Structure 1
Amino acid sequence: MPWLRGKRILVVEDEALIAVMVEDMLTELGSEVVGPAATIDAAMALAREEAIDAAVLDVNVRGERIDPVAEVLIERGVPVLFATGYGEVRLASGAAATVIDKPYTQEKLARGLAAAMGVAPLGRRTAS
């Protein structure tokens, strides 16, 4: 996925094995991983301070919803991809979200990021 090369992707995941797996997948796709963050507080700090091109967010982090982090990123114009084992996701604002179901593969991760970032498979921007 050439369109992911050099992109800084925030990863928020509280399960260590999943975080390592996602980090490996993104690195293989040519991305630079920001984090991973395993708590809402750590994720908030990264979301506010780091240069980020997109984010992969676990919906439930140590029993807390990821919504505050997602809202900060969305306000900054950062595309967000939610990863969950719970099905459909809606933000507190009621907005729909781009979601991939756990467990997921590298291909599903790349497709989910493409959808969130508005990028076609060949790296072209899709109409918004």
Structure 2
Amino acid sequence: MDVGRAEGGRVLVCEDNPLIADGWSAMLRNAGYTVVGPTPSAEAALEQVQRQVPDLALVDIGLLGGVDGVSVAVELASLGVSIIFVTADYRRAAEARHCATDILIKPVTYSALVGAIAAAFERKGKPS
């Protein structure tokens, strides 16, 4: 699987740390994906999804506001969005594994991030 280039799937970045969110967004754009967001909170992610439903979402567990990433992941998954948790909180991500395609533990390399996204698109039957 070539993780260098993709063909345009829409990926929501839901991460409260702006440096990490910007880094992931740059990696995704470099790999050929369309970035939706980034959004720092579950509320902002759900507002963004009302404007444009992504194919896949990268979701951190710890987000700004009163709602965590697990709650937004459950909501997004119910809309058919594939979820990849990217978090330092493996325990919470593992508890919510039922709604996620994959779990990546921070810090995440470019090849791990883009490879997990490509694999998720492949499982979903969409070109990566």
TM-superposed deviation, 1:3? 7.1
**2:29 aligned with 1:15, yes or no?**
no
Q: 1:84 to 1:72 in 2, by over 3 A?
A: same
**How many positions carry a matched residue from both structures?**
120
> Where in structure 1 are there 5+ consecutive unaligned residues?
none
Q: Contact (CA 8 Å) 2:42, 2:69: kept in 1 or not?
A: yes
- Mapped to 2, the partners of 1:115 and 1:87 lie a distance apart of 20
TM-superposed deviation, 1:20? 0.8
Counterpart of 1:75? 78
Secondary structure in 1 matching 2:113: helix
> Where in structure 2 are there 5+ consecutive unaligned residues?
none
TM-superposed deviation, 1:117? 3.0
TM-superposed deviation, 1:77? 1.0
Counterpart of 2:113? 109
> C-alpha deviations, 1:48-73, integer Å up to 9, x for none?
43131111111110374212221221
2:98 is aligned, of 89, 95, 99, to 95
Amino acid at match of 1:101: I
TM-score, scaled relative to structure 1: 0.80
Q: CA RMSD, aligned part only?
A: 2.4
- Mapped to 2, the partners of 1:113 and 1:40 lie a distance apart of 20
Amino acid at match of 1:25: M
Amino acid at match of 1:16: P
